[in-house]
Structure 1
Amino acid sequence: MTAYQPIDTHTSGHRFDKERRWAAALSLGFESREEGAAAPITRLVRRHHIGPLRVQRPFYPEGKTGCCHVYLLHPPGGLVSGDELRIEASVAEGGHALLTTPAAAKLYKADSHGVAWGQHTHLMVAKNATLEYLPQETIAFDGSRGEQTTTIELATGAKTLGWEVLALGRPASDLPFATGELEQRFHLSLDGKPLWLERQILDPKHRRFIGHWGQGGATVQATLWAVGIDDEAAAIEALREQLPEHNRWAVTRRRGVLLLRYLGTERNEAWALCEQAWHILRPLLTGLPAHTPRIWLT
C-alpha cells in the first residue's frame, strides 16, 4: 500500500477568479492495539486535518473491542466552486473501522466562471484489516460541476465494504439536473494490481444521459462494493432472495469484487437498498451483525 504522505495544501488560496481553489483535507490512521482486554482494540492513532474537515472522536457502539466508528464532519455541508476536499484513511493489520457522515452531502451549482469542485477519497486497508466506508448520500444540484474520485488500496487478506449513493437534481422541488457535469472515478486494487476501474461522466446534455442504453433518464444511482467475502456466490444468492424484487438493481462479481448497482428515481429507495444489503453482507464479510450508526437515526 502507498505510505501515508502529509497533505499538501500550499496551492490553495482565497482567490475569486476562475483559478481559485479552497482546500480542506483529513487524514486518519487506525491501528489494532493490545491493551489488556480480552481482544485487541482498534484505536484512531492519527488524526490530521486542514480546513473545515475533521472528526470529533471515535465511537465504540459494538463494544470496546469491536469496530471503531468515526463520523466524517464537513461543517459547510456541501461543495461550491473551487472547493477541494481530500479524505485519506488507513487501517493497519488487524484493525476494523467504519467511516460514515452525519448527513447528505450537497454539490452546489457552479458560479459564473464555471469553476469545478473536487472530492477525492483514498482508503488503504492492510492485511487482515477491515474498513467499511458508508457515507450518506450525495445530492447534486442543477449546474454543479466537479470530479469525485474514490481510490481503495487493499493488501492480501484485507476486507472492505462501501457504497456511493448519488441523487441528481431536486425533483421534488421541480429542479432537475438539467445542466452541469459530474465525473466519477473508482479505482480498487489488491497488492497494487487493479481489480475494478471505472470512470463515468454525467452530462445531462449528452444522449447517454437519457438513452435507454445509458442513464435512461434515471435521477438516482448507487454502487455498493464488497471485497473479502469467502463465498461470493452464496452472498449474491442471499441478496437476490432477501432484497426487494424490482428491476432497478442488479448484483454481480468480478475478480473478487462483489458489486451491487441501483438505477432509479427514488433516493430513499436507493439508500434503503444499500443499508439492507449491508445488513445481509456484513455478517458474511466480518462475522459480525450490522450495527446501525446512531447518527443515521438523528
Structure 2
Amino acid sequence: MTAIPRAIPSGFDSGHRFDVGRRWAASLELGFAARQGVTRMVATRHRGPLRVQRPFHPEGRVGTCHVYLLHPPGGLVSGDALAISARVEAGAQALLTTPAASKLYRADSHGVAWSQHTRLSVADGGQLEWLPQETIAFDGSRGEQVTTIALEGDARCLGWEMMALGRPASQLPYASGRIEQRFRLMRDGAPLWLERQPLDPTHPRFLGRWGQGGASVQATLWAVGLIDETEAIEALREALPASPCWAVTIRHGVMLLRYLGLERNEAWDLCERAWQVLRPRLIGREACVPRIWRT
C-alpha cells in the first residue's frame, strides 16, 4: 500500500515554552483501503491530542467508512501546530468529519500564531468526503490554515470548509488578528484550483464590496468527478433557496459553491443540502448524515 502522505511541515516539533518560540504540536495520519469490498481504516498514527473514534459503516459493510476526527482541546491557541493527513486507496470510500465546531482563540501577549496543515490524497478509483464542522475565529486570532488535496486518475472528492469570524451574537466581532488560508487541489500533479486568502480586518478588502464586504461567515464547497456538471448545477439551483449570498460555478472540472454572508446556520444548511444533492451524482449513493451532526 502507498505510504500515508505526511502533512507535517519541516521543523515540526513540540515543546513546553511560553515565549515567542512556543510550539505545541499534534499530528494524525490515516490510511484507508478496500478489503474484500469493505473499506477499512488500515493505518493510524497520532501524536499529541489528535485521535479518531472507531470507524462506522452506517451505510452497510460495502458502503462508505465514516470516521470522526477528535481534537479534545476543541480549539487552537498560540503555538498550536496541527497536522492531519489521510490517504484513500483504490476502491476505498471514506467520509471524514468532526464532532463539533473548531475554535481559533485570541493570540497571546507575544502574538504567537497557530497553524493547521491538512493533506488529503485519493488514489485512482478512490472516493473521499471531507466534511468538517465549521471553524469559529475569535477576535485577535492569528494563524494559518493550509489544505492540500492530491487526486490520482479518476479519484473523486467532495468537501467543504466553513469559517465564522468573530462572535457577533456576543457583540464580539473579528476586529483584529490575521488568518491566512491556502488551498491546493491537484490531479496527477497538475493544479486544478489554487487559492490564497488573507483574512485581515484592518485591510480595505475586508470591508470593501470588492472583497469580504463585511461578511462574517464564508463557506466553500467543492466536488471533483461529477459526470454531468451542467445537470448538477441545475439541480443545485432548483434545490437550494435563492439568495445573493451564494453562487456556483465550474472551473477545470472542479465544481465550486461559495457562500458569503452573516449566518453560520445558513451556511451550514446550504452546504449540507448541496452535499445531499451532489452525493448521489458523485458516488451513486444517497446522503447518509453522520449522526454526530444531530447530537
TM-score range relative to shorter protein? over 0.9
Aligned match of 2:24 = 22
Aligned match of 1:192 = 189
Residue 11 of structure 1: how far off its partner (Å): 2.4
Residue 4 of structure 1: how far off its partner (Å): 3.3
1:261 to 258, 263, 268: 258
C-alpha distance in structure 2 between counterparts of 1:196 and 1:278, whole Å? 19
Asked whether 1:140 is paired with 2:137, we answer: yes
CA RMSD of superposed structures (Å): 1.3
Letter in 2 for 1:130: Q
Asked whether 1:117 is paired with 2:114, we answer: yes
Aligned match of 1:149 = 146
2:204 to 183, 204, 207: 207
Residue 3 of structure 1: how far off its partner (Å): 5.7
C-alpha distance in structure 2 between counterparts of 1:62 and 1:186, whole Å? 30
Look up the SS of the partner of 2:257 in the other structure.
strand
Q: Does the 8 A contact of 1:211 with 1:217 survive in 2? A: yes
C-alpha distance in structure 1 between counterparts of 2:26 and 2:110, whole Å? 21
Residues 173-196 of structure 1: per-residue CA shift (max 9 Å, x gap): 000000000000000000000000
Letter in 1 for 2:26: A
Q: Residues 195 and 143 (structure 1 numbering): CA distance in 2 closer, same or farther, change over 3 Å?
A: same
Aligned match of 1:219 = 216
Asked whether 1:72 is paired with 2:69, we answer: yes
Letter in 2 for 1:45: V
Aligned match of 2:57 = 60
C-alpha distance in structure 2 between counterparts of 1:78 and 1:170, whole Å? 15
Q: Does the 8 A contact of 2:22 with 2:79 survive in 1? A: yes
Q: Does the 8 A contact of 2:142 with 2:177 survive in 1? A: yes
2:172 to 157, 175, 185: 175
TM-score by length of 2: 0.97
- Structure 2, unpaired ranges of 5+: none
C-alpha distance in structure 1 between counterparts of 2:286 and 2:6, whole Å? 34
Letter in 1 for 2:27: A
Q: Residues 82 and 274 (structure 1 numbering): CA distance in 2 closer, same or farther, change over 3 Å?
A: same
Residues 84-115 of structure 1: per-residue CA shift (max 9 Å, x gap): 00000000000000000000000000000000
Residues 220-252 of structure 1: per-residue CA shift (max 9 Å, x gap): 000000000001111011111110001000000
1:33 to 32, 35, 39: 35
Residue 150 of structure 1: how far off its partner (Å): 0.6
Q: Residues 201 and 2 (structure 1 numbering): CA distance in 2 closer, same or farther, change over 3 Å?
A: farther
Residue 56 of structure 1: how far off its partner (Å): 2.1
Look up the SS of the partner of 2:51 in the other structure.
coil
Asked whether 1:92 is paired with 2:89, we answer: yes
Look up the SS of the partner of 2:289 in the other structure.
coil
Q: Residues 269 and 208 (structure 1 numbering): CA distance in 2 closer, same or farther, change over 3 Å?
A: same
Q: Residues 27 and 9 (structure 1 numbering): CA distance in 2 closer, same or farther, change over 3 Å?
A: farther
Q: Residues 152 and 2 (structure 1 numbering): CA distance in 2 closer, same or farther, change over 3 Å?
A: farther
1:12 to 11, 14, 35: 14
Count of aligned positions: 293
Q: Residues 79 and 283 (structure 1 numbering): CA distance in 2 closer, same or farther, change over 3 Å?
A: same
2:244 to 239, 244, 247: 247
Q: Which runs of 4+ in 1 moved over 6 A?
A: none
Q: Does the 8 A contact of 1:9 with 1:23 survive in 2? A: no
Q: Does the 8 A contact of 1:156 with 1:191 survive in 2? A: yes
Q: Does the 8 A contact of 2:19 with 2:110 survive in 1? A: yes
Look up the SS of the partner of 1:66 in the other structure.
coil
C-alpha distance in structure 1 between counterparts of 2:11 and 2:66, whole Å? 27
2:123 to 126, 129, 149: 126
C-alpha distance in structure 1 between counterparts of 2:6 and 2:40, whole Å? 20
TM-score by length of 1: 0.96
Residues 130-181 of structure 1: per-residue CA shift (max 9 Å, x gap): 0000000000000000000110000011000000010000000000000000
Residue 6 of structure 1: how far off its partner (Å): 8.9
Asked whether 1:233 is paired with 2:230, we answer: yes
Letter in 2 for 1:157: D
Aligned match of 1:270 = 267
Residue 5 of structure 1: how far off its partner (Å): 4.4
